[in-house]
């Protein structure tokens, strides 16, 4: 008598919210790689900014082409191209000197910080007049944008409209290499990316990532957050570099914190019966989950976000896979049932 095959586990629909963070996006690569390998999540929507948008586009491209295995291959190709397309210049670097002459002890010195501040006074329109950006080659090689635009997985990418001073969300059918470059454009390092006559900067300034598109679109009620900036630190920074690093984390987390506060408020009103879920106003119960960055990336400095050495990227990927494995073991069963993270206690 032949043995019956084990039943195929039911896949659970989920939306992903991918934060930006330069080369720390390789940590997300690792998380996504492990989740795709596991195969029990049905990813139906992705909202993202900056490096998270690059991961999101590679993910959607692969899912459209051939499913989970193809998505893993696209993500791997993306980060290999990031490594090979201009080194530290892919995500930019506030220093203008070659890394070979920048030992770690020198970067921590006051004199170095003064010199780095001086370098920041130069505009990218001055030190990069030809607007060279090696990220374009990496994106065009690693992502099939036609597959992305034709996908039934919703993709929302945030960029900051410079003149209008507001966030613009580009949707699936609008995604191009220019949109991803706009979403990752740090204005003191790269010239603004112009789309339809409007210059754009990094989407993380106003939406990192934007959650609100998931509230109104026909997307799953479960949202899995993947932040890249630690939310909490145990010690108060004192050195100039440490202060700047922490300020950067706070600034780029602020938009997400604001949206999470609004989500928590609405969910409380629904729980108290003061708002009706699934009514004409579009309010609904949401279940939130998170693969948190704090325990995995808290030991890394702001400067490491510009490091695209392959050994560093693969270490981050390994950390991400470990984090993904832990989340699957401890939180997966909550998907479709309840939130697995206390938003107010953890982020607010």
pLDDT for res 9: 63
pLDDT for res 301: 85
Write out pLDDT tens, residues 225-282. 999 999 998 889 988 778 888 998 999 999 999 999 999 999 999 989 888 887 666 6
Contacts 24+ apart (CB under 8 A), 175-182: 175/57, 175/145, 175/148, 175/149, 176/145, 177/136, 177/139, 177/140, 177/143, 177/145, 179/53, 180/53, 180/54, 180/57, 180/135, 180/139, 180/143, 181/133, 181/135, 181/136, 181/139
Do residues 46 and 154 lie in contact, with contact meaning Cβ atoms separated by under 8 Å? yes
Do residues 215 and 260 lie in contact, with contact meaning Cβ atoms separated by under 8 Å? no
Distance CA 159, CA 169 (A): 7
Write out pLDDT tens, residues 317-327. 999 999 999 99
Strand ranges for 162-234 from DSSP E: 166-171, 193-195, 198-202, 222-226
Mean pLDDT on 114-126: 61
Could you tell me what percent of the chain has a pLDDT over 70? 84
Six-digit token string for 298: 């808290």
Six-digit token string for 217: 């679109």
pLDDT above 50: residue 49: yes
Which residue matches tokens 């170095």? 112
* Higher-scoring residue by pLDDT: 90, 284: 284
Write out pLDDT tens, residues 94-113. 333 334 334 444 445 554 45
pLDDT above 90: residue 340: yes
Could you tell me what percent of the chain has a pLDDT over 90? 67
Band (pLDDT 50/70/90 cuts) for residue 284 is confident
Among 288, 272, 273, 178, smallest CA distance to 222 is for 288
Among 211, 239, 247, smallest CA distance to 227 is for 211
pLDDT for res 245: 86
Among 58, 187, 53, 31, smallest CA distance to 123 is for 187
pLDDT for res 5: 52
pLDDT for res 125: 74
Write out pLDDT tens, residues 168-215. 999 999 999 999 999 999 998 899 999 999 999 999 999 999 999 998
Neighbours of 45 (CB within 10 A): 23
Band (pLDDT 50/70/90 cuts) for residue 329 is very high
Do residues 71 and 166 lie in contact, with contact meaning Cβ atoms separated by under 8 Å? no
Do residues 338 and 221 lie in contact, with contact meaning Cβ atoms separated by under 8 Å? no
CA angle 158, 221, 25 (to 5 degrees): 40
pLDDT for res 111: 47
pLDDT above 70: residue 6: no
Q: What is the number of H-type helices and E-type strands within the chain?
A: 14, 8
In the DSSP assignment, the letter for residue 280 is T
* Helix, strand, or coil (residue 288): strand
Report the range of poorest mean pLDDT among 31-40, 140-149, 208-217: 208-217
Report the relative pairing of strands 41-49 and 154-161 from DSSP bridges.
parallel
Average pLDDT, the chain: 87
pLDDT above 50: residue 137: yes
Do residues 49 and 205 lie in contact, with contact meaning Cβ atoms separated by under 8 Å? no
pLDDT above 80: residue 156: yes
Distance CA 101, CA 3 (A): 64
Question: What are the residues whose beta carbons fall under 8 Å from the beta carbon of 78, sequence distance 6 or more?
Answer: 29, 54, 55, 58, 138, 139, 142, 143
pLDDT for res 326: 98
Task: Considering only CA atoms, give the Rg of the chain.
Answer: 20
């Amino acid at each position: 008598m032949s043995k019956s095959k084990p039943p195929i586990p039911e896949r659970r629909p989920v939306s992903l919210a991918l934060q930006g963070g330069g080369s720390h996006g390789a940590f997300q690569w690792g998380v996504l790689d492990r989740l795709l390998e596991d195969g029990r999540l049905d990813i139906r929507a992705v909202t993202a900014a900056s490096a998270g948008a690059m991961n999101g586009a590679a993910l959607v491209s692969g899912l459209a082409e051939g499913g989970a295995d193809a998505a893993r291959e696209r993500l791997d190709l993306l980060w290999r191209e990031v490594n090979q397309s201009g080194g530290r210049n892919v995500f930019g670097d506030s220093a203008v000197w070659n890394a070979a002459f920048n030992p770690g002890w020198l970067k921590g010195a006051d004199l170095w910080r003064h010199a780095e501040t001086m370098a920041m006074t130069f505009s990218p329109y001055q030190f990069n007049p030809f607007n060279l950006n090696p990220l374009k080659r990496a994106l065009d090689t690693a992502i099939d944008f036609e597959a992305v635009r034709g996908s039934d997985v919703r993709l929302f990418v945030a960029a900051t409209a410079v003149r209008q001073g507001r966030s613009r969300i580009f949707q699936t059918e609008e995604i191009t290499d220019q949109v991803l470059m706009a979403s990752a454009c740090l204005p003191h390092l790269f010239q603004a990316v112009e789309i339809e006559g409007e210059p754009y900067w990094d989407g993380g300034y106003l939406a990192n990532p934007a959650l609100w598109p998931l509230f109104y679109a026909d997307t799953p009620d479960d949202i899995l957050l993947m932040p890249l900036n630690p939310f909490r630190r145990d010690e108060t920074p004192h050195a100039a570099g440490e202060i700047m690093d922490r300020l950067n984390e706070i600034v780029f987390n602020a938009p997400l914190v604001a949206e999470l506060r609004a989500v928590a408020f609405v969910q409380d009103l629904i729980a108290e019966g003061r708002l009706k879920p699934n009514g004409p106003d579009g309010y609904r119960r949401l279940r939130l989950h998170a693969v948190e960055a704090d325990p995995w990336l808290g030991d890394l400095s702001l400067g490491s976000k510009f490091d695209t050495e392959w050994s560093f990227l693969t270490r981050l990927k390994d950390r991400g896979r470990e984090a993904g494995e832990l989340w699957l073991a401890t939180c997966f069963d909550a998907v479709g049932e309840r939130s697995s993270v206390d938003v107010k206690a953890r982020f607010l």
